[in-house]
Amino acid sequence: MAAMMYWEAILRAHDEELANDPMVIVMGEDVGVVGGTYKATRGLYEKYGPERVIDTPISENSYTGIGIGASFLGVRPIIELMSVNFAWLALDQIANTASKVRYMSGGQLGAPVVIRSPGGSAHQLGSQHSARMEKVFMGITGLRVVTPSGPRQAYGLLKSAVRCNDPVFINEHELMYNLKGDVPDGEYFHPLEGSELAREGRDVTLFGYNVSVHWCLQAAEVLAREHGIEAEVVDLYALSPLDRAGIARSVSHTHRAVIAEEAEAPVGVGAEVMAILNEECFFELDAPPLRVSARNVPIPYARTMEKAAIPNAAEVVQAVLALFGRA
């Protein structure tokens, strides 16, 4: 195992996949000469040249469409959208072309394209730079959606996504690029489907993804130390498809559930997990599941207001205590 930062793990995956297959290219704003806004492509321009590490204009719809079109011909593009806030501009290409082309062509064409983008609230970036768009991408049939919670997943998911014949959207969180963790020394390919058990427990399941996994782990420590409640933490790194069996399996063991997400509650990951719980293990529940979500407002710029809008580990603890009638 090697300890590295989240961005370093993503950079290593890029480097290995570019070296492995000459049909892999990287496209995006500032991915080349600058090396990426978050250093995830640093040094690749010098190593592989401008025909494989391509700086694009600020035109998300255009370069995403070019990459998707190239994928029809056997190219395997890794497209970086500098900020998920601007993925709205590329949604036509993603939702109407990449995700549908195999079905509409009767299997004659595929779009083996990876689209990765940072998002989330990242300390006073304001409403237009703090989007949590995972719920949007989850709703696109034909698109895989994954979201790594640490360097190991960031490395392994990108490598698996590059070699997948389906279009894959990788949702990264801006606050996690300097997060440090262990990554296998050899090549590692993380499954694009499933969930991970981040902590074992018996009394309640805490569901999280990317940054909220860490809130859940922090909350689990407090619950065990101060309240004698042993929380199980499940990392929902694959958002589409969600791991229905894994979600049901954990709650059938603990009989209570709290879902933590940084995004607003309506039509979100938490809502979908609650639907699965209702459909798959309603009679296993000893209490109604609860969601810990952002306030349903545009993320404010002012630091105190931003903090008030975004949930945290303390709110996860309070939700669990409410399930047990201790709030």
CA distance 95 to 85: 16
C-alpha of 163 from chain center = 18
Cβ proximity of 309 and 297 under 8 Å = yes
Bridge partners of 292?
A: 260
CA distance 109 to 135: 27
**Among this protein's residues, is 253 annotated catalytic?**
no
Distances (CA, A) of 190 to 184, 193, 279, 289: 11, 9, 28, 29
Instruction: Provide the β-strand partners of residue 264.
Output: 294
Gap between the Cα atoms of 259 and 118, Å rounded: 22
Q: Is 232 a catalytic residue?
A: no
Q: Please return the burial class of 295, using the count of CB atoms within 10 Å of its CB with bins 0-12, 13-18 and 19+.
A: middle
Could you tell me the two tokens for 225?
Answer: 């130390």
**Nearest CA among 250, 218, 244 for reference residue 232:** 250
Q: Which of 129, 227, 253, 255 is catalytic?
A: 129
Q: Cβ distance 100 to 70 under 8 Å?
A: no
Tokens describing residue 263? 């995004």
Which residue of the set 8, 17, 29, 60 is catalytic? 60
List phi, psi (to 5°) of 212.
-75, -15
The residue count for the chain: 327
Positions marked catalytic: 60, 129
